[in-house]
Structure formats: C-alpha cells, structure tokens
Amino acid sequence: MRPTIHTGHTRTWRNGRMQDGARAIPEETPVAISYNGGTHAVMMATPADLEDFAIGFSLSEGVIAAPSQIETFEIVPLDDGIELRMWIGGAQAERLQQRRRHIAGPTGCGLCGVDSIAEALRPAAIVGPGGRFSPQQIIAAIEAMPPLQTLNIETRAVHAAAFWTPARGIVALREDVGRHNALDKLAGALARQRIATGDGIVLLTSRVSVEMVQKTAALGAPLLVAVSAPTALAVRMAEAAGITLAAIARADGFEVFTHPGRISGGTREGAADVA
C-alpha cells in the first residue's frame, strides 16, 4: 500500500536567512470506487483506512444499507492510483445500475457527479431523539481529538472526523486530505465495528457544509460538533433532519445553531436562527 506521508525538501526563510529544510506532507492519491465492474466515483484521498472508506462511502451514497450487502471487496493498487472493487447483488445492484454515473472528484468533493439540483439537495435522513449532553462533555469531546490526529500532527494538512460517547470517549477517528472522505471513513469504521450512533457525537475539524450534515444524518448521529462554522444551507438541513448542530467549538465554548434541547441549558439560552 502507498505511504500516507511524504517528506518534501524545502527552502525555508527563518530569522532573516534562507536555509534548507524538510517538511512532512500528506500523500494524495486517486482512489476509484467501483461496483460490479463499473467505476462509480474517483476521489482524491489519503491512501489509508481504505476499507472503511469504501464501506462508509457506499453507505452515505445509499448504494448499500449495511456492510453485509458487499459480497466481495478488493483493494487493487494501480500505476497511478488505487481501485476499491466491490461486488453487490440483488436489489442494490439493480438500483445502482439505474443511477450509475462516472464522476471524477477533486480533493474533498462531497457532491461530485450529482446530476440534478434535487439530488444535491436531497432531504437528509431524520435522526432519532438520541442522548442529552452537557456543555462540558462537548468541550471535552472536541479537546480529545488533537492528540489522536497522528497524521495531522506530522503534516498539519489533513482533516479528521471522530465519534465520541460519554461512556467510552472517542471510539473511532479517521483522517484524510478531504473532509468528506474523513467522515466517510468514520462511517465505515463505525459500521464495521457495529457501533450504535444514537448516543454519541460526530466531531469534525472542518467547516460544516450541507453534505456533511447529510452524511451525519445517514449515520444516525443526533449531535454534530465542528471547530469551524456551518453554511446557512447546512443549518437548514440540520434543522430539517433533527440534528443538533454546534460549531465554532473551542476550549472556552461553542455556538448551537439547531435543536439546542439535546444540550443541557441549551433551551434556556436559545439558538441562532438561519432563514
């Protein structure tokens, strides 16, 4: 398998002079996702946790409803990339044939190849009531991420997505050059480990766009917390999906945009409203 980190040689300007240096930089590899012999998507991704990526992407795209519906899986190294080959049967294969498309996605592409506005704005799944969390738990969860981001510690150039529960803390964390890829990898890891998502928090190191909300809804997680701000469309989608969206999360606090009732004290303070 390809390495995830490359050492790049640099010329560095420091303290008033130029000098030779080196920098750890993340690899970025074309990863083709194929079903039943046909390419469905090509994403630029970090070449790690690829089975998680394949399963999570398949779940979030609605190609499968459970990992068991993938009959065979193979990671195939190519001269200029990697192919993730899957075979699915039955009704899933028939539905896939009807919507098959060939797409090429740049780094972090979350809606690559979508061929209609309606498809891009498809309603997110409605999440269940889930648990209730204190502000201290949310801050503890977001602060637990950085020490576990091993690839980002070395490169300072990748995103992470994690899942946290009150009983276990962070149960899974995945990294990738693409924020959507990191969330898909997380979804795959949780599905493979059969971890229930109704009592935990999805954590993101990135901004929150609409497709990140859609993927979180597909996971069934009731609370999404991010270190950066959401878009207005992401807020509307989270509101419709029943997801509590908290963002701009730091050690000293966060902002709640939707469904504050899952956060202790949230309903007393209210929440921002985006039209």
Q: Which residues are catalytic?
A: 109
Q: What's the distance, CA 137 to chain centroid?
A: 21
Determine how β-strand 5-14 pairs with β-strand 81-88: unpaired
In sequence order, what are the beta bridge partners of 225? 203, 246
Q: In the block, which residue shows the tokens 């949780």?
A: 190
User: Measured between alpha carbons, how far is 227 from 225 in angstroms, rounded to an integer?
Assistant: 7
Contact 234, 257 (CB under 8 A): no
Distance of CA 45 to CAs 1, 49, 228, 247, Å?
A: 13, 10, 21, 25
3-state secondary structure of 144: coil
3-state secondary structure of 20: strand
In the sheet where 29-35 sits, what is the strand order?
70-78, 81-88, 29-35, 38-45, 104-105
Q: Identify which of 31, 33, 32, 36 has the alpha carbon closest to the alpha carbon of residue 97.
A: 36
Rg of the chain in Å (alpha carbons): 19
Total residues found in the chain within this entry: 275
User: Measured between alpha carbons, how far is 268 from 40 in angstroms, rounded to an integer?
Assistant: 47
What single-letter amino acid sits at 37? Answer: G
